[in-house]
Amino acid sequence: MEGYETGMTAETPAAAQTRNLLRRLLVSARRGVDHAEAAAAVYENGGLSGRYLMMTVISAAIAALGLMLSSPAVVIGAMLVSPMMGPIVAMGFSLALLDWNELKQSLTALGVGVGLALFVAILLTLLSPLKEPTAEILARTRPNFFDLLIAVFSGIAGAYAVIRQRGETIIGVAIATALMPPVATVGFGLGTGDLSIAGGAFFLFMTNLVAIALAATVTAGFYGFRPRLLERPKPWRGVAVMVVFVLLAVPLALSLRSIALESRATAETRVAVEDIFAGAESRITLLDARSEGRGVTVSALVSTRKLVADAQARLQERLTGALHVPVSATLDQIVVADPQAAARAVQTSQSAAPDPAAALRNRLAEAVPFATDAVMTDAEGRRAIVLLRPDAGLDLDSAYALEAALRTRFDGVDVWVTPPVQEPKAVDLGDAEARARMVWALARWRAAPTVSLCRPAPGAPAAEGREAQPDAGQVFLAELAAAGVSIRSESGPTCQRGDQNMARLSLG
């Protein structure tokens, strides 16, 4: 009708050519696909069988042992043996076909397989003397965005390999997906009572499972696999597929939110630290951001030439304003001569650790970005000694702060940081923090000093601006004894006015 638009526009020649080209490519891609044969192959590999159970036990045992030994080669062997890819791909195909019977069978096989693998991993963990998390275990407790992408492309490759009968592709897919190692890591966490490890590894497994299943569903739909529920009204089929997609995508969405939040927190922390320490040469030595519930926890260690008094408060304020979520920020500062060298000294990889003591040494070596003579631990991995070299660039105050930071990060480990031996300075007996640092240093050096307590003469006034503690000298001696420091001799001369209430020590 004149004056009215019909709401339809004629298709341009270029659009028509593009549409025809895409249609020809789609027809070419689907050519030669035997839907019945491909579906039968998928369901045959995705059901519960004696072979499936046997291979699950073997792969779970190999994965658990490889993780505890931190051996990448052994872990890869577990990936190749694992049959868990079959039920997940079968689940994806059954969703594409809305075949509820096959979906039930694949879920049953997957549930039994995961339960059996957990039992094997927990049993081996309980029987093993190796209880310290290794690098291979820790690598599977924090899924990231790249793990998600790997799972998606692996699901596409797995579905394509089955549809096109490309058996050699399955080997590469098995290595890429790494389904069994996360399950074995969950078993290790449960066996050692470490729920953070178990939870993180289970999150990785669920991320892989959901991504692979969805990718297999989409790939099957691309190759023309359609639902068989012809007796149902057509709109309900689409609604059913969407409902299943939404249900499966919930844990994936939660994973993406956590990953995105941690990535933003890391980037914002780097920018904030650069602004906070502007004008003072500094480098971020260690940085860790973890999503916890609706908030995020950030922990940073900064090597700097000059301390910034309110750095942690400013970082907390910056991150809260930038991320708009609850933030718990911890910022430790270490004064060093060369912040760049300290940052470069952080190791970027962990070597294999065949026992708990070696694993703890490797983790400490990564966490201490300064020159050390040795990092020693006891056989159980409960106590560690870090010997700093003279060229580490740390004074007593910084070494004291480093030990406190390491004890916070290695909860349950008695970490001792031993600074290079040096002639101690005079100690103000009225300064509790100064006394504590000196007692700490003498205990770490295992020194037996000569202590000279300078007490004021009877009736002499206290030093100007200071209230001398009457028994400060005896308090200091008691603190030394409590720390296991034996003194060679003690003297208490009458001191001049400027030396009142001081302690002088000598190691000679």
Q: In this structure, what DSSP letter does residue 390 have?
A: G
pLDDT digits (tens, 9 = 90+) for 421-438: 777 778 887 788 888 888
Percentage of the residues of the chain whose pLDDT score is greater than 70: 71
pLDDT digits (tens, 9 = 90+) for 411-422: 778 888 888 877
Q: Which of 165, 126, 141, 183 lies closest to 45 in space, CA to CA?
A: 165
Q: Which of 441, 508, 439, 422 lies closest to 477 in space, CA to CA?
A: 439
**Residue 268: how many CB atoms within 10 A of its CB?**
20
Kindly tell me if the per-residue pLDDT of 160 is higher than 70.
Answer: yes
Q: What is the mean pLDDT of the chain?
A: 75
- Which pLDDT value is given to residue 112? 92
Q: Give the mean model confidence (pLDDT) for residues 102-131.
A: 89
- Which pLDDT value is given to residue 354? 46
Coil, helix or strand for 95?
A: helix
β-pairing, 450-454 vs 489-491, is parallel
Question: Residue 116, class by beta-carbon neighbours within 10 Å (0-12 exposed, 13-18 middle, 19+ buried)?
Answer: middle
Name, in order, each residue with C-beta under 8 angstroms of 451's C-beta and a sequence gap of 6 or more: 476, 477, 480, 487, 489, 490, 491, 503, 504, 505
Q: Are 306 and 335 in contact (CB under 8 A)?
A: yes
The span from the CA of 84 to the CA of 86, in Å, is 5
Give the position of tokens 């779970």: 60
Coil, helix or strand for 451?
A: strand
**Residue 84: how many CB atoms within 10 A of its CB?**
27
Task: Calculate the CA 185 to chain-centre distance.
Answer: 13
Q: Are 67 and 56 in contact (CB under 8 A)?
A: no
Kindly tell me if the per-residue pLDDT of 24 is higher than 80.
Answer: no
Give the position of tokens 């050096």: 445
pLDDT digits (tens, 9 = 90+) for 317-351: 888 888 888 888 888 877 766 556 555 555 443 34
**Residue 110: how many CB atoms within 10 A of its CB?**
21
**Residue 491: how many CB atoms within 10 A of its CB?**
10
The span from the CA of 451 to the CA of 465, in Å, is 25
Q: Are 487 and 451 in contact (CB under 8 A)?
A: yes
Residue 116: pLDDT band by 50, 70, 90 thresholds?
very high
Q: Which residues pair with 376 in a beta bridge?
A: 385
Structure tokens belonging to residue 148? 């998600």
pLDDT digits (tens, 9 = 90+) for 35-75: 677 777 777 777 788 888 998 899 899 999 988 888 888 88
Q: Packing angle between helix 234-276 and helix 195-222, nearest 10 degrees?
A: 130
pLDDT digits (tens, 9 = 90+) for 71-90: 888 888 888 788 888 888 88
Q: Are 174 and 80 in contact (CB under 8 A)?
A: yes
Question: Residue 222, class by beta-carbon neighbours within 10 Å (0-12 exposed, 13-18 middle, 19+ buried)?
Answer: middle
